[in-house]
Structure 1
């Protein structure tokens, strides 16, 4: 009888944290089936459907995305087609185009494909949205977005990347200890490294060749699209009771148009 090797607890733990290869392959297979129809295929598909049918399916897609976006988790095209579009997949490009138009004209939102390879969508505030309807992240109205705002500010002020230890230390000074359960946030570490990461506000990656293992934070794709660096700098300036221009490099990055126009005007004097 051959003796089977037993996995250690650490091996089992590490394997359980990795997505199974079969699950990843299944996702890739699903998405591979969703080849983009050609313009002629879309046109032929529309000829077989009534305008009312296309409008109804578009409304269902809009509703689905709005519901999913409440958790700020990116929406997979494969899930959208499988659960909502279904038999209308031939006219999917037309449906998503109409849905995008509704988001912009009715809700002041923009449907953005943040990951063309894996086809992930998010809703962000339209850049043309009036100031009276500001981004919830630029103007934190609840504790979670306020906490996120602080972390994004730390990352921005430190050049775009920061070790997690510094973030935890700063939050601890604000009486938000990542090692303790918080009355408002619950498990702080899980909120930051899981929820904010899944929502694509933050990136949280292991730093190569570090022992013991270290991690670092960066701005996520959603933050890049939703959050104004100028607003972040204003927030940090108020926090430290300083003029935003005190941080020369950050001010240039946050106000590229303003600083370039200043340089142009001074060169013509």
Structure 2
């Protein structure tokens, strides 16, 4: 990082590292822990209590857990329940688009409306009396058990 991003301003590294660490903690629910001070090796540790290993078993659970925390936050901020179009809109502003395959998350619609619904993290329901049909996202029962809105 020093050579690539802070080439001419390496004295700012502690402040930048601290700010990035705080953003990762607040936005994605992960904390940076130093594993080896001598070699400056760090690891990311989930802080939300979400069961990352169960989110994805092929070793990519942490990014998906962070993304799940982000989706739950969007639902909370939009109002629980959150209109489907508001969730897709918020995610597209982060350059994660429904209908496009993402290299880590796969296809968003399937991840949010099938996988995480089956796992109990989200609920996806049709709004009553909506013509054409409109859908909303809600926190699922498992999300309530494993973390809190606050």
**Shared fold (TM-score greater than 0.5)?**
yes
Structure with greater proportional helix content = 1
TM-score using structure 1 length: 0.34
In structure 2, what is the Cα distance between the partners aligned to 1:168 and 1:133? Answer: 25
Q: Pick the structure with greater CA Rg.
A: 1
- 1:146 partnered with 2:73: no
Whether the 8 Å contact between 1:138 and 1:227 is mirrored in structure 2 is no
Give the whole-Å Cα distance in 2 for the aligned partners of 1:214 and 1:200. 21
Aligned to 1:191: 111
Q: Does 1:211 align with 2:148?
A: no
Note the C-alpha offset of 1:229: 1.8
Whole-angstrom CA distance in 2 between matches of 1:184 and 1:190: 13
CA RMSD of aligned residues (A): 2.3
- The equivalent of 1:137 in structure 2 is 50
Cα separation, partners in 2 of 1:179 and 1:205, compared to 1, 3 Å:
same
Which of 175, 196, 200 is the equivalent residue of 2:95? 175
Q: Does structure 1 retain, via aligned residues, the 8 Å contact 2:46–2:62?
A: no
Which consecutive residues of structure 1, in runs of 5 or more, have no partner in the other structure?
1-131, 231-269
Q: How many pairs does the alignment contain?
A: 98
Q: 2:141 aligns with which of 191, 203, 221?
A: 221
Per-residue Cα deviation, 1:47-86 (whole angstroms, up to 9, x for no partner): xxxxxxxxxxxxxxxxxxxxxxxxxxxxxxxxxxxxxxxx
Cα distance, 1:135 vs. partner? 4.3
Give 4+ residue runs of structure 1 displaced > 4 Å after superposition. Answer: 132-136
